[in-house]
Every structure is written in structure tokens, then in C-alpha cells.
Structure 1
Amino acid sequence: MKRTAGCLVLVFLQFVMTSAATINNSLVTWCAVSDAEEQKCWDLASNITVRNIRGKLQCVRGQSPTDCMQRIKNGTADAASMFPDEIYTAGICYGLDVAVGESLNGIDGIHYYVVALARRSSGDLSLLEMHERSSCHPGMRTTVGWTVPIGFLVNTSQISVDEQCNFPHAVGDFFGYSCVPGAKDPEHDPRGNNPRNLCEACIGDENDRHICASNPRERHYGEAGALRCVAENLGDVAFVKHTTVFDNVNGKNQESWALDIELEDLKLLCPDGSEASPSEHERCHLAVVPANAVVVRLEDKCRVYKFLERVQIAFANATQGFSLFSSAGYGQPDVMFSDSTQKLLRVMGTYQSWLGPSYTTMLQAFECEGLC
């Protein structure tokens, strides 16, 4: 009788443990970094329950992407959507990986190409001989305007940083003058000693105020602003997304500075020193920047993918009710996932394979800044 009772207790304990493991295995805890994302997460969770989709979603609020990385690492969260540079930090510093990535075309994970754009009339101009030339950047510490082009210059040994890892000084010493909006902002220049020539190609607003501001009041701010900087002959080269030229030429942009620009007036500068037309961005670019992806612990890649695949089947193409890739009603775009996402792709390789070699190489140039 005692042996029978003992066996029953053992079976009961095994049942409880198995049930707990099953429940835990079906639960995905999402780390949100904004009120809007947390609200959409809970809305998704309730819709999962209503539709009786296998698995359960729970939402927690992280204070920052880095906080979410730590939560995922220590097991208090399972997944979070992150930008490419954040994915790199999550992998390098926290040992995390990616389960799925956004696809904006339904085919691959490419978001955009970073290109070097110049006037065709600028004559001989090479990306391998940019010393003392002038440059136009969408913004300070941005992927397109800073990380990729400066990473390229470091990796091609055109600039080098000192022991203090002072990139602004290295860039200021390299280019003759530039427009890097935000270069003198306290956020990027707390000691006020960033080189002044990082702002000399900037023009501010119509009243010559807000020069080099990290907002549209600086007329050379952003993608279109960097193109304008080149169009107005204040810069030899603009570092922009490949779509920038197509969004602003041939009448697409009705501002006075853009009306006379045509596609054939511009060219791309290639990493090997050659030139190409703007439509040849797939072969002539500095880096391929991937779309956002969902960061997870390595052991949870498959589990989170399978859960999100079920969610995607139910809500990705919804024409009414909750829509996975729509941020309508949340007060801001790209909540949880980019609004332009067509589908989520399974990432079979590592986070490095998602980021791609060209973009990863650019990020590695900044490792002296101490990511972790």
C-alpha cells in the first residue's frame, strides 16, 4: 500500500512538472519599449486568446532596448523587436540571437542600401581618395549618415581614431568641411569640442538660424537635406539611402532646390573607386542594411519562430480587426513591427547572417567605443 501511494505521488509530480513545462513552453513574453508597443502587444495577446491560437503572449515593459536585452538574457522576457545596430549589441554583449526578421518585399530581409551620391559634373571623384573633400550626412550617429560611411573610411584605412576613440575629430581632420546635423548638439558633443568644420556645409533655416541642428530646421538635415547639400554644391558627396534620389528627382520633390535635378545629373561612387548610375545601387553601395528582427535566446529560436508563424498566419493579412503589421490607432508608426512589413522570415543562421557581412563590418569599426 505504501509503495502504491509512493508511485501515485511520483506520477502526480511528473504530471505537474510536465504540465508546467508545457505551459512555460507555450508562453512567449514580449519586451516592449514604449507605451504604444506595450498596448499593441496586449491587444495581440487578447486576439490570440479570442482566436484560440496555440500559445500565449505576455507583455512586459522594458526601459530601453538594452534593458530588454538584459531581460531576455536572464529569462524574464523571451523576445523583442530591435533595429540592426541593437541586434549587433544584443549578439556581441548578451549572447542573444534572432528568430525571425522583417521582410519588406516578401523575399529577403534587405531594408535599404547605403550609397555615396555625387553630381555627375563633379569630375574625377573617388571614394578611395576623399581626403579634404566635402561631405553631406543626414545626421550624426545615424546608420546612413555616420555608422556606414565612417565605418567604410576606417575599414579602408583612410581615417584612424586616437586612443580616446574620438571619431568626430578623426572625421573633422579627414574631410575639408561637412554638414553633419547634430554634430554640435550636447548629446553628441557634451564637452563642446567637436570640430566646427563638421557643420560648415550646413545652412540652417531661412533666417540663418539653427545651423547644424538635428531636425528639419536645418535645411540639410535628413536624407533629402543631404541630397540638397550636394545639389547646392556645398558638398562633393552625400551619404544616403538608395531610395533618396528616386524620392526627390524628376518632380517628386516640389521644393525649389529639387525641381531642376534629374536622375542623369547624379552618380554613385562605388567602394572600389569606380562610378555607377543611381539605378545600379545593388552593385555599387557601401553596405546593405537589413530590416528589424526579433531578438531571442539561442535556445528559443525555434519556439519563438513557431509561435510568431502561427500569429502571422492569423493576423498578417487581416483586412478587419487586429492587423499585425499596422500601427493605426497607436499614435505612432512601426509599433512592434514596421508597417511596411510584408511577412516575417525565419532566420536559420546566426544574427550575423541576418545583419550581413557589409553592415557587420561597418559596425565592427566602432567597437573601440565599448558597446558592452
Structure 2
Amino acid sequence: MGTADVEAVWRVESARIVAALTRFTGDFGLAEDAAQEAVAEALVSWQRASPANPAGWLMATARRRAIDAIRRRVALQERYALLAADPALAQEIDPDRIDDDVLALMFVSCHPLLSREARVALTLRVVGGLSTEEIARAFLVSVPTVQARITRGKKAIAAAGVPFELPPAGERRERLGGVLSVLYVIFTEGSTATSGDRLLRPDVAYEAIRLARTLAALQPDEPEVHGLLALCELTAARFPARTGPDGTPILLEDQDRRLWDFPAIRRGLAALARASQRGLGPYGLQAAIAATHASAASVEETDWARIVRLYETLGRVAPSPVVELNRAVAVAMASGPAPALAIVDELIASNRLPGSHLVPTVRGELLTRLGRLPEARAELELAARLCANQRERSVLLGKAAALN
């Protein structure tokens, strides 16, 4: 077995292995380190002989590495003796505890005491099984930066004595929101990269979808889990049509909808139906908006009035300037650019999205439709200066140049 085989097994089994080790050692950092050491050993050993049970081999090797580490801690000899004698870890994983273990691992990785960057890095590393190099490439930061975030996160968890357990029932739903927000951040970075020379990072987005599916299987009765999964599936369904062969962005009105991923749309609609059973939350409402787009044959045939109503509801449930900006876009399609421009100008007057390229982008589009071309060109040029993504910037500059 080669490197790719090791990576494939690790990607699938990492969360269960780290979770099982954490439960038995009571040390999140130790468990993750031991698991990584097992992967490093597998890269060498599996080239000589392939194990019959790769996941079991990784579990057993990681267990030995954990025991070795505990042995070196003189003050923990009693704990070592208990761990070494525990027959449960001689097996691959306790099947009766897998679901709770992986869910607890998600809650620990997304603990609110950590910074958003640390939560994202830890979740991708210990739950998603990504290497520090993969995380660094995904978010366009250096490997040492990712390593530092992971190290700080593990130290913070250890210093705070965060237990490896599911939060009490009264806290779980509140804490679940933090887990969902981390997955949402990961997905949005993949669906529209904040910087770099690519509009999309599908590998990042699909990793978020994989984690969301895992969470939906672990928490089947939580509507917002299915809402987030639906939003991700329906948004990712448009990926094949969002860029040309050379990576150039293609706007929604110009996309070939025949290229959309219709199985993903069906999965998204199924998840949305489950989310709708108890009323839609913020992620479910966003998914309903995406479903309205997915159900339309063209931009002209889209039910923009419905989208406006959904954004109005979303604005009441989870108000934010981005929601207002998106509502303005929908209003422009449903009622014309003039009332939409009033919404955008109100956002500018209240300074609710300072430094964002999105506001001048939308304002430039609205001014173009109103025939105020010099003002529109100035807004689009401003948006290009503020935009960190090279692909988006080129589109903005192209639009501005066309108004000369």
C-alpha cells in the first residue's frame, strides 16, 4: 500500500480513531498526537506489508504510542496501568460508542473558548483527517501558521480542562450552533474563496459536506443540521457551471444549468424536507433560497418574490448586513434597481459592511441598470481594489472597463 492508500484510510477512519483514543486516555492532545504518529509509521510499514485490517492497525499502533507517552509521564503511572490493561482498546473501536465519540470530538474541536481559526483547523485536522499541508493550501496560509493554530487550540483545551464528553442536553443545542458555524465557514471558503487565484476550492467545500453528512447522521433530529447540509448540497450543485475551463467565473445568469449536479440537488431537497419538518432556522432558510434557484429553468423564471420573502424572514431570524445586501439583490430582480439601491445606500450610511467589496459590487450593478454609468464604473473599480480574490477582481475590472 502506498501513500495514497494510507491517506485514504486515514481520511475515513481518523475521527473514530482520535475519538476512541481521547475517550480512553482522557487527553485530546495526546490522542491526536498518537494518531498522527501511527499514520507516520504506516507510511513506512505499509510499503513492506499491507495489514489485513488497516483501521485496526492504525488503532493498535496509536494505542501503543499513547501508552508510550503516558509511561514517560511519571506522575501518570496509575493511569498508564489502567490504560494498558483495558481490553477494549485491543480491538479496533468500540462500535457501541462510535457515534457519541465522534460527536463529542466535534464538540471539543469546535469549543467556544477557541478562536474561529483554531476551531476550523482542529476540525479539519482531527475530525476531517486533513494534514496541516492540506489545511494550509485550502486557506492560503503557511504550514507553520496552521501548526501554531492547532497547537494553541490543543493547549487551550488542556489548560481549560475541557472534558471529552457530549455537552449536557441543556447546552447541546446552543453548542451545536458553534459546530455548524465552523462547518459553514469551511464550506463558504470552498464555495467562494476569499483570496487567491481560484474562485472555487471544491475539495474544501466537499470536505465540509462530508462532515455535515456525518453530523446529520449523528444528530438526525436537529433540523438545522439538515438545513446546513441542504444549503451545502444545493450550493455545491452549481459548481460545475460556475467557472469556465480556464477558471473564469461565470455569473448565475450566464450559467449553463444543464451542467448543474442534479443528484446533489435531489440530496439537498431531501435534506431541506427533513429540516422543514419542525420549521426552518437560518441555515434552512438559506437552503430554501438555494432550492428556489435550483428549481428554476433560468434567471428570468426564478421566483424572485419568494426569494425576497425568504430573505425578509431570514433578516428577522438572523439579521446581518450580508442578508440585507442579498435581499437588495433579490429586490432588484423582483421590483427593479431603484428600491434595491435604497437598501444598499442605507447599509453604506450605517457603515455596516466597511471594507467589503460586496457592497460596491452590488451598488455598481444597480447603478449600471439605472444608466448611471460613471458612478457605476467608480463603484466597480472600488470593488476590484477591495477584492482579494484574483478571479473575482478580473470580472469586476472587466465590467468596469465595459462601461467606458
TM normalised by structure 1 equals: 0.22
- Higher relative contact order, chain-length normalized (CA < 8 Å, sep 6+): 1
TM normalised by structure 2 equals: 0.21
Higher strand fraction (1 or 2): 1
Higher helix fraction (1 or 2): 2
